[in-house]
Amino acid sequence: MTTEPAAEPAARRGRKRSEEGRIAILTAAYEQVAEVGYHALTIEGIAARAGSSKRTVYRWWSHKADVLLEALSVKAELRISTTDHGSWAADLSAFLRDSYELGRVPGVAPVLRALMAEAQIDPGFGQRFREGFLARRRAALATLTDRAARRGDLPPIDPGLIADLVFGTIWYWLLARDEIPADAPTDALTALLSARPEANPGPENRDQDRDQDDKEQP
């Protein structure tokens, strides 16, 4: 598994944070939003639950969405594997399985939908969401594709397209179907993104194959 990020791009610059206080606030934000929903979530409520102050929260984060963004980023980096399992297919399968399981953790899907919605109406947060979550998840997947390329078992598919298909599928389920299905096709998507196309015979080879078939017929 990966470790917690060394830097949190969604957080405000300010006085060095107490790690204990940081974890308390992130935990409080996640628990609070699971109880009351995103729209009813407030900085005051987060601070009270964390045993902190509103001023402290605002010193480190500019908006409730940023607190949740960091909380989810940490969850994703801790729960989604980028471990080397020996092959591209095995690495991808583990990455997909972990991603789907995270999306099914109670509270995660509603928060992701709320943050995506916030990103559409607040350009500033939209940039932070893209850089602090979406880009970092793509970078995690790029760890796998880069390793597979060095190993020599990455299929001839553009890594950017692989990322689009992996994360596009997840976001479709979250936004259009409201949840990641329990029977998400991990094996099927892994097979699709691991397949190597067979050589396409040219006209001359096809003619030779037909001639050979004619000779073999009685």
- Check which CATH number belongs to the domain holding 122 and give it: 1.10.357.10
Q: Does any domain span residue 209?
A: no
Residue 157 scores a pLDDT above 50: yes
pLDDT at 14: 46
106-128 average pLDDT score: 93
pLDDT at 9: 43
pLDDT band with cut points at 50, 70 and 90 for residue 143? very high
- Among 37, 41, 86, CA closest to 61: 41
Q: Does any domain span residue 37?
A: yes
C-alpha to C-alpha distance for 67 and 29, rounded to whole angstroms: 7
pLDDT at 211: 53
Q: Does any domain span residue 216?
A: no
68-85 average pLDDT score: 92
* CA distances from residue 42 to 55, 75, 154 in whole angstroms, order as listed: 13, 21, 45
* CA distances from residue 178 to 30, 99, 103, 113, 114 in whole angstroms, order as listed: 19, 16, 11, 9, 12
- The count of domains in the chain is 1
pLDDT at 218: 53
Q: Does any domain span residue 75?
A: yes
pLDDT at 142: 98
pLDDT at 41: 95
Q: Does any domain span residue 111?
A: yes
Contact at 8 Å (CB) between 43 and 68? no
Residue 214 scores a pLDDT above 90: no
Q: Does any domain span residue 166?
A: yes
Contact at 8 Å (CB) between 127 and 135? no
* CA distances from residue 31 to 25, 41, 49, 108 in whole angstroms, order as listed: 10, 10, 9, 11
pLDDT at 39: 93
Containing 188, the helix (H) or strand (E) segment is: helix 186-192
- Among 103, 121, 120, CA closest to 112: 103
DSSP E strands: which ranges in the chain? none
70-82 average pLDDT score: 91
CB atoms within 10 A of CB 186: 17
The larger pLDDT score, comparing residue 216 to residue 150, is at 150
Residue 164 scores a pLDDT above 60: yes
pLDDT at 207: 53
Q: What is this structure's pTM?
A: 0.79
C-alpha to C-alpha distance for 64 and 174, rounded to whole angstroms: 21
Contact at 8 Å (CB) between 126 and 197? no
pLDDT at 82: 94
Domain coverage including residue 144: 19-192
Q: Does any domain span residue 29?
A: yes
- Using a pLDDT cut of 90, give the percent of the chain over it: 68
6 half-sphere exposure, CB direction, 13 A CA radius = 0
